[in-house]
Amino acid sequence: MIRRYSELIQLSTFEERFKYLKLNGIVANETFGFDRYLNQQFYKSAEWKKVRRQVIIRDRGCDLAFPNHEIAGQIIVHHMNPMSLEDIKNNPELLLDPEYLVCVSLDTHNAIHYGDGSYGNKNVVVDRMPGDTTPWR
């Protein structure tokens, strides 16, 4: 399944957008291994820096481009479709197409790649008890 920004933004809730992108703990089959330097060169390129800036502006720095979900810390411009060594070598224009990119927070990024799908419940209110912030008591 090829994930597209134009499809993502049609989803009306943050949870739907997250489910659209989540990988269920499965990271891309191919790892970069000894070719990791190519991945790092790509992220340092002028082309990547330019498109990254464009995507942040387009998404207004919001997590999953969802309105009013501004990212307070580091903004990650996420490849909605896992990138491969083949893409870096032969299809770099595909990796630079904003149609396949979206802004995410670090928490969202990690949940997409490594989470179990329960990320949508991260804001559950926990009942507080007297003394629960002072474990030495």
Note the pTM of the prediction, 2 decimals: 0.79
Please report the pLDDT score of residue 1 as a whole number: 83
What residue spans of 35-132 are helical by DSSP H?
A: 36-44, 46-59, 85-90, 92-95, 106-114
Provide the pLDDT for residue 39: 77
pLDDT of residue 128: 54
DSSP codes, 93-114? HHHT-GGGEEEE-HHHHHHHHH
Enumerate the domain spans of the chain.
5-119
Q: Determine the Cα–Cα distance for residues 66 and 45; give it in Å rounded to an integer.
A: 27
Position 64 scores a pLDDT of 98
Residues 80 and 4: beta-carbon distance below 8 Å: yes
C-alpha to C-alpha distances, 1 to 82, 111, 128, nearest whole angstrom:
11, 19, 43
The mean pLDDT values, 10 residues at a time, for the chain of 137 residues are 95 96 67 66 92 98 96 95 84 91 95 72 49 54
What does the pLDDT read at residue 83? 83
Structure tokens at 111: 């949940």
| pLDDT in the model for residue 121 | 45
